[in-house]
Chains A and B, each alone.
Chain A
Amino acid sequence: NAGVMQNPRHLVRRRGQEARLRCSPMKGHSHVYWYRQLPEEGLKFMVYLQKENIIDESGMPKERFSAEFPKEGPSILRIQQVVRGDSAAYFCASSPTGYNTGELFFGEGSRLTVL
């Protein structure tokens, strides 16, 4: 019973390049959340998606960041024209229902380093 799968685990990009992070939720989970963890900071909510819908993107920066969760395939967090401040660990979590109990199932994260 596979958990939440994220890839790549580590990604290095130069300033101005694009980063694409992928997340496959647990089987049977149709709700996906993305969180960002900066060094010495707590996890910060970015976006909440259901299949083909963005439910809450209040934590997403207005520019350069986008997320999708298509009908088929993984959820993707896309960062265009990366800057050094985007260096962080990006965690995806999934849950079976939207009115969740706070029991989110997290992946192991994708660590982005921007040179």
Chain B
Amino acid sequence: EDQVTQSPEALRLQEGESSSLNCSYTVSGLRGLFWYRQDPGKGPEFLFTLYSAGEEKEKERLKATLTKKESFLHITAPKPEDSATYLCAVQARGTDKLIFGTGTRLQVFP
């Protein structure tokens, strides 16, 4: 069964304290792995798509990496506005639906 597990469930960081979020997955043929950001009371907002092991994508203070079993979202020198829940999802080949993890709730304090 296709599955996504994210860790930690929650993460508290001081402003400027870099860290990484983990997304472990099992899927029957990976078509793509995706990261989304969700603010309280809002819908998810797309961040990155990764297709193959070794691929990396960057956007401002965020960098996403992918291996055959997991993905990391690295946050460098975070700011309070980076506080949100970060969701990881996978899409299996031959399907159009995303399988989401339960997310990592990030809080960045000034």
Contact = CB atoms under 8 A, between A and B. Distances in A.
A70 interface: no
Interface in A7-45: 33, 35, 40-45
Contacts of A100: 96
Among B41, B45, B91, B96, the most chain A Cβ lie within 10 Å of the Cβ of: B96
Contacts of B41: 108-109
Contacts of B42: 108-109
B102 A42 contact: yes
Contact of B102 (A40, A107, A109): A40
- The residue among A41, A93, A100, A108 with the most chain B CB atoms within 10 A of its own CB is A100
Contacts of A63: none
Interface residues of B, number: 23
B49 A33 contact: no
Nearest to A48: B96
Contacts, number: 62
Interface in A68-104: 91, 93, 98-104
A105 B87 contact: no
Nearest to B45: A106
A52 to B, nearest CB: 17
Interface centre among A35, A99, A104 (most CB of B within 10 A): A104
Contacts of A108: 41-43
A105 B45 CA distance: 7
A45 B99 contact: yes
Contacts of A33: 96-97
Contacts of A101: 32, 49
Interface of B: 4, 32-34, 41-46, 49, 87, 89, 91, 95-103
Interface of A: 4, 33, 35, 40-45, 48, 55-56, 58-59, 91, 93, 98-109
28 contacts: A40-B102, A42-B100, A42-B101, A43-B44, A43-B87, A43-B98, A43-B100, A44-B100, A45-B97, A45-B99, A48-B96, A56-B95, A56-B96, A56-B97, A58-B97, A98-B96, A99-B96, A101-B49, A102-B33, A102-B34, A103-B34, A103-B49, A105-B46, A106-B44, A106-B45, A107-B43, A108-B41, A109-B41
